[in-house]
């Protein structure tokens, strides 16, 4: 779906009156004029020029906004406009895509549905239930009463905390024109996340050899890299092109190095967990080759890095084997007890937020450091069940697509990567509220939208090719 198709449909429906073109041009001119008049020159000129470049790219490549959302997932670029505070650049892109999707619907343009299969239909129904429930619990949660004032501000707060991260899933899935986006999606993930990890590694000496990147802490960096690592690993182990494997290997090594320098023990455990789903869909010979290569690489590193065994970070990671004796684990158990007591007072709807402001008086962190407990705090046990059900449905869609015969290689890379990301987030969430990190939410919902489109495209290809053209879905050679 593109703006050209929407305009064309409106022209056919209204004869010679190009209402969509006139309306769009009017909105753009008014927005540019308002920007130049109301904002400082140093801000207005880059905004207008950047908007012009973005519009040109959109007209030349209609799917560009969807990939731009994916590329911006790790970053928070925000500004204020009048009474609205903390506007993200992603909000502007998402708003434009929403208008295009709604315009196409009103114009009578019937795009190919991406939720036709049973698995995709269950996924979108769970998404609707989760979206409505989270909006309700956030708006009326007892923990947010101090924040709420006027209805306009309340709607904006609800959008910022809930809708901003969840809306990309249906909007991108309905907007995207390319039915087979998997290859480009994985390329964007490797280039953006690999580049971000490289930046974190290069500036680590300035931060005491703790990789942080564009995040506030090393734990947040590791939490974001956990769901991105399996895409690089899947491309490395499953792609046929040497060029693709080289890019994947480079990105994977840089990501793993960044996680190591972050010092996050949960990140290491979550990263390891991402590889288990991949083992189910790789040929056994390739699994053996990967394990042998890993052992050889470890031996080489130990030979050339004699001080590795005495490294403070290695000793820190080795404490995972007896985590019950680690001080931070005991601190987390105390933290979980505080939040469980608060949750038991409102188990069905939660309190609307995972932040307990009262804990600041006790000189303790105000978040539970556990994704499951944080979700339950925000939307109760009902929200937790809906969230787990939605994530399980996403994993089921990946498994079903992988087991279907005749899958495209790049599509399989995307589905295996997403399946590994879900596994990594599920494990990493035991010690950190990673799944509620803004960048992780953006990444998960956007990639899931692309996975739904890829699954629909593969299903259409199989229906056209017929059952005789199908090949084996899972290889065990």
Query: What is the average pLDDT across 427-439?
Result: 90
Core vs surface per residue 27-38: b (16+ CB within 10 A) or e:
eeeeeeeebeee
Let me know: does 107 contact 176? Beta carbons within 8 Å: no
Q: Which of 114, 133, 122 is nearest to 177 (CA)?
A: 114
Q: What is the C-alpha R_g of the chain?
A: 24
Q: What is the pLDDT of residue 471?
A: 43
Let me know: does 402 contact 416? Beta carbons within 8 Å: yes
- CA–CA gap between residue 353 and residue 376 (Å, rounded): 9
261 pairs with which residues across the strands? none
pLDDT in tens, 326-368: 677 777 888 888 889 889 989 999 999 998 888 877 778 888 9
Let me know: does 234 contact 402? Beta carbons within 8 Å: no
Q: How many Cβ atoms sit within 10 Å of the Cβ of residue 462?
A: 16
Position 290 confidence tier, pLDDT thresholds 50, 70, 90: low
Please check the confidence at residue 147 and state whether its pLDDT lies above 80.
yes
**3-state SS, one letter per residue, for the chain:** CCHHHHHHHHHHHHCCCCHHHHHHHHHHHHHHHHHHHHCCHHHHHHHHHHHHHHHHHHHHCCCHHHHHHHHCCCCCCEEEECCEEEEEHHHHHHHHHHHHHHHHHHCCCCCCCCCCCHHHHHHHHHHHHHHHHHHHHHHHCHHHCCCCCCHHHHHHHHHHHHHHHHCHHHHHHHHCCCCCCHHHHHHHHHHHHHHHHHHHHHCHHHHCCCCCCCCCCHHHHHHHHCCCHHHHHHHHHHCCCHHHHHHHHHHHHHHHHHHHHHCCHHHHHHHHHCCHHHHCCCCHHHHHHHHHHHHHHHHHHHHHCCCHHHCHHHHHHHHHHHHHHCHHHHHHHHHHHHHHHHHHCCCCCCCCCCCCHHHHHHCCCCCCCCHHHHHHHHHHHHHHHHHHHHHHHHHHHHHHHHHCCCCCHHHHHHHHHHHHHHHHHHHHCCCCCHHHCHHHHHHHHHHHHHHHHHHHHHHHHHHHHCHHHCCCCCCCC
Q: What is the pLDDT of residue 473?
A: 42
Q: Which of 70, 23, 24 is nearest to 51 (CA)?
A: 24
Please check the confidence at residue 396 and state whether its pLDDT lies above 90.
yes
Higher per-residue pLDDT: 302 or 70: 70
Position 44 confidence tier, pLDDT thresholds 50, 70, 90: low
Please check the confidence at residue 36 and state whether its pLDDT lies above 80.
no
Please check the confidence at residue 434 and state whether its pLDDT lies above 60.
yes
Burial of residue 170, with CB atoms counted within 10 A of its CB: 0-12 exposed, 13-18 middle, 19 or more buried: buried
pLDDT in tens, 50-60: 666 666 666 67
Q: What is the pLDDT of residue 151?
A: 84
Please check the confidence at residue 299 and state whether its pLDDT lies above 70.
no
Highest mean pLDDT among 159-168, 234-243, 273-282: 159-168
pTM confidence score: 0.84
Position 164 confidence tier, pLDDT thresholds 50, 70, 90: very high
Structure-derived torsion over alpha carbons of residues 167, 171, 275, 369, reported in degrees to the nearest 10: -10
- CA–CA gap between residue 193 and residue 183 (Å, rounded): 15
Query: By mean pLDDT, which of 42-51, 130-139, 214-223, 395-404 is the weakest?
Result: 42-51
pLDDT in tens, 85-144: 888 888 988 988 898 888 877 776 655 577 888 888 999 999 999 999 999 999 999 888
The average confidence (pLDDT) of the chain is 81
Please check the confidence at residue 464 and state whether its pLDDT lies above 70.
no
Query: What is the average pLDDT across 17-35?
Result: 58
Please check the confidence at residue 8 and state whether its pLDDT lies above 60.
no
Residue with token string 């599509």: 411
């Amino acid at each position: 779906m593109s703006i050209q198709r929407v305009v064309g449909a409106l022209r056919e429906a209204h004869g010679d009156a190009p209402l969509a073109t006139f309306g769009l041009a009017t909105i753009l001119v008014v927005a540019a004029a308002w920007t130049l008049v109301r904002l400082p020159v140093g801000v207005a000129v880059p905004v207008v020029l950047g908007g012009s470049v973005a519009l040109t790219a959109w007209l030349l490549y209609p799917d560009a906004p969807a990939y731009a959302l994916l590329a911006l997932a790790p970053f928070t670029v925000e500004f204020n406009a009048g009474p609205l505070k903390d506007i993200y650049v992603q909000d502007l892109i998402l708003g434009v895509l929403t208008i295009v999707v709604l315009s196409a619907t009103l114009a009578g343009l019937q795009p190919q549905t991406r939720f036709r299969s049973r698995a995709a239909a269950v996924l979108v129904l769970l998404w609707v239930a989760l979206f409505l429930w989270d909006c309700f619990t956030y708006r009326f949660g007892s923990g947010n009463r101090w924040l709420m004032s006027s209805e306009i501000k309340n709607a904006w707060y609800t959008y910022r905390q809930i809708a901003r991260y969840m809306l990309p899933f249906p909007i991108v899935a309905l907007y995207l024109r390319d039915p087979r986006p998997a290859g480009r999606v994985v390329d964007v993930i490797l280039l953006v996340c690999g580049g971000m990890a490289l930046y974190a590694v290069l500036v680590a000496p300035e931060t005491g050899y703790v990789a942080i990147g564009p995040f506030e802490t090393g734990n947040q960096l590791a939490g974001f890299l956990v769901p991105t690592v399996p895409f690089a690993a899947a491309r490395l182990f499953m792609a046929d092109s040497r060029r693709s494997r080289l890019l994947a290997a480079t990105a994977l090594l840089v990501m793993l190095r960044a996680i190591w320098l972050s010092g996050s023990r949960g990140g290491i455990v979550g990263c390891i967990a991402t590889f288990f789903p991949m083992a189910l869909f790789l040929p056994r010979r390739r699994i053996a080759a990967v394990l042998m290569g890993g052992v050889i690489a470890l031996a080489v590193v130990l030979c050339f890095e004699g001080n590795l065994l005495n490294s403070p970070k290695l000793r820190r990671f080795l404490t995972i084997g007896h985590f019950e004796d680690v001080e931070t684990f005991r601190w987390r158990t105390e933290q979980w007890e505080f939040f469980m007591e608060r949750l038991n007072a409102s188990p069905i709807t939660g309190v609307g937020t995972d932040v307990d402001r009262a804990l600041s008086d006790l000189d303790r962190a105000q978040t539970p450091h556990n994704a499951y407990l944080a979700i339950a705090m925000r939307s109760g046990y009902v929200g937790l069940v809906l969230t787990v059900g939605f994530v399980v449905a996403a994993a089921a869609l990946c498994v079903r697509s992988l087991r279907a015969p005749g899958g495209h290689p790049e599509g399989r890379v995307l589905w295996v990567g997403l399946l590994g990301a879900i596994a990594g987030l599920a494990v990493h969430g035991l010690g950190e509220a990673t799944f509620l990190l803004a960048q992780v939410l953006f990444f998960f919902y956007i990639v899931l939208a692309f996975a739904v489109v890829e699954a629909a495209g593969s299903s259409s290809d199989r229906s056209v090719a017929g059952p005789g053209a199908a090949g084996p879905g899972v290889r065990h050679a």
